[in-house]
Structures are given as structure tokens and as C-alpha cells.
Copies of this chain bind each other. A is one copy, B any other.
Amino acid sequence: MPGIDEVALLAGVSTATVSRALSGKGQVSVATRERVLHAAKSLGYVVSSNASGLATGRTRNVGVVIPFLRRWFYSSVIEGAESSLLANGYDLTLYNLSGGGEERRSVFEHFLLRKRVDAVIAISLELTASETGRLLDLGKPIVGVGGPIPGVRTLSIDDVLVARLATEHLLSLGHTVIAHIGGDAESERDFHLPTNRRVGFEAALADAGLPSEPDLFEAADFTMEGGYRAAKQLLGRPHRRPTAIFAASDEMAIGAILAARDLGLHVPAEVSVIGVDDHELAEFFGLTTIAQYPALQGQMAVEILMDELHPGGEDRHALNTPLPFDLVVRQTTTRPPPR
């Protein structure tokens, strides 16, 4: 593995010039640059990120912290962030917190602090003041995706509006007995996302002059199985069976579709179902849903970070950037059956 001095030797210049030529900073004559580039290539030279990082204080690496990796949503965000970082010449170091409390502590107390990363993207995480504090003290920008972290630039979707849109879609089709499968206490811990979706749901009902009936709510854990169980409860009752279900995630919505099927109920003729996500399976199940775009979210987070790391563009991003979402109507929603 050749070092910068071998390149300098071969190109007949000083190491400083090599550094300048390769980094693009500082003035280098075209001819010299050519020679340096050529020498570097012919030697297969690649800078040592350690040495460069030590000298500059920046590593061209960003840390991405997530609560889970195995959910479609998170891996999609990461995929978006990864390709965007790569395009910017940055590496992505992954910190998965699913191990639990001890793991979380060690990530924040040690790993993130050892100057390995220039910045941090925190996905669907509520950081404590001390966690953000230490990072910010180090001068490392943080961008949060999916939840309000005080004092930090964040990207988030307006869950109240998302739920309202889904509910209004059902209302506009004529449904009046609409059930909601939302999050349980466990999933609530992180982000109040379930609560916000429930609030939007109830607000839309209220606007339509409908009461919110506790019986029409079931809590689940955002998985297909959870949605299945919850929907069985909802659809199995002998009286006031809902004609539509709004599930707070596509996986739960798909579970609900399967539950309806198992009960012999036809979707959408007898039960309409709408979810949230536009999960990769949504198309396959013909699921009507509110699309959010996780890969785009990852990409947007990176763009904001790049702006912070390379200040130049003067257009400061707002402290909280709203994330886009859209109603995607497929085949699981229709008018309620005549009664």
C-alpha cells in the first residue's frame, strides 16, 4: 500500500502538492495535477482515512443510529441514506440499538464519541438531552428522522395529517363505522407516532360528526400477526361490525386483510382496509395506503447533513422539515355494503 510520499516521488512534487491535487483544495497547476493524478492511479494510491482524519478532524463517515434493522421501514431508510452518502464520498457506520439498554448506553458513551464519525443520523429515536448534548458538544451535527429531538434538525412526517387523510378517504366513501388498529404501549414508547395517528383518526371522525368509539380501537405491535389478531377481534364481534379498518401500518393492514379472509369476509366488498407506509408488499395485496417514502427520507437526511458539514449554500434548512406522504388508492377500499 503506497503512501503519499511515494506518489510525490513518482510525480516529482512534494507531498503537500499531492494532497492539494487529490483533495481539490488549494491551487495546483493543471499539468501538475495531471501528473499527480496519474502517479496516484498507477500506484493504486488511496488516502488513509485515519491519517487524513487525524490531520483534518473530519472523517468522511457518518453514524446512523436505528432502533431496529429488520423492519422494512428502517432498512429502506438506511438504503436511501447509504447510497446518498456513498455518492458524497462518505461511509456509513451503523449502530443498531435493538440489543437493548446496555447496548444503547455503550453506543452513546463510547462508540459515537471516538471521533469515528463526523455526524449522526438518528432514525425514529428519541434522544435524551445528555445524548444529544455530548454529540453537539463535540461539534457533530445530528439530524433526526421521524421524531422531534429538541434542538436538533429533524425530518418528520405529520402523523396526525396522515391519519386524517386515511380516515377521510374512508369517510368519503361513505363509511361510518370505522375501526382503528393502532400501536400498543410498547411501540408508543419511542415516538408518540401511534398516538398521533389515533388523534388524526379521531379528529377526522369528529369533523364528520361521528363519535369516537373506544370499542372500535385495537392496539397491536405493528406486525402482520398483530394486525391479524386485532382485526379478528374487531371483525368477529356480533354487533356493529366495522365496515372499514384503518391500520397504522401496512403490515398490520395486511394482517387485517388475512383475518377478514379467514372469517369469510370479502375485502373490500364487506370490509375496506387502509394502511400506512406503502410497504413493498402493499402492491401485491392491492392495499390502499398512505405512502411514505423511507428511502427518500434517508436521502433527505443526508442532504441536510451535507449542507451542515459543508456550509456554503446559505439556505438554512428549517429546524423541522415535513416529510411527504400520499394517498395511494388500490383495491382494498370501496363503499360500505348497503345495510
Write the residues of chain A forming the contact surface with B, with a CB cutoff of 8 angstroms.
Answer: 1, 44, 46-51, 53-54, 59, 61, 69-70, 72, 75-76, 78-79, 82-83, 86, 91-96, 98-99, 103, 106-107, 109-111, 113-116, 134, 137-138, 224-225, 228, 261, 280-281, 283-284
Contacts and interface: CB of A to CB of B under 8 A. Distances in A.
Nearest to A138: B1
Contacts of A69: 75, 78-79, 82
Contacts of A1: 113, 115, 137-138
Given A94-B82, A96-B83, A103-B86, A54 B46 contact: no
B103 A116 contact: no
A114 B47 contact: yes
Contacts of A61: 93, 116
B94 A94 contact: yes
18 contacts: A1-B113, A1-B115, A46-B113, A50-B50, A50-B53, A50-B59, A50-B115, A69-B82, A70-B280, A78-B94, A79-B98, A82-B95, A82-B96, A83-B98, A86-B111, A91-B116, A93-B93, A225-B283
Nearest to A48: B115
10 cross-chain pairs, A with B, having the tightest CB-CB distances, nearest first: A50-B53, A46-B113, A50-B54, A49-B114, A48-B115, A225-B284, A49-B116, A70-B75, A93-B93, A82-B96
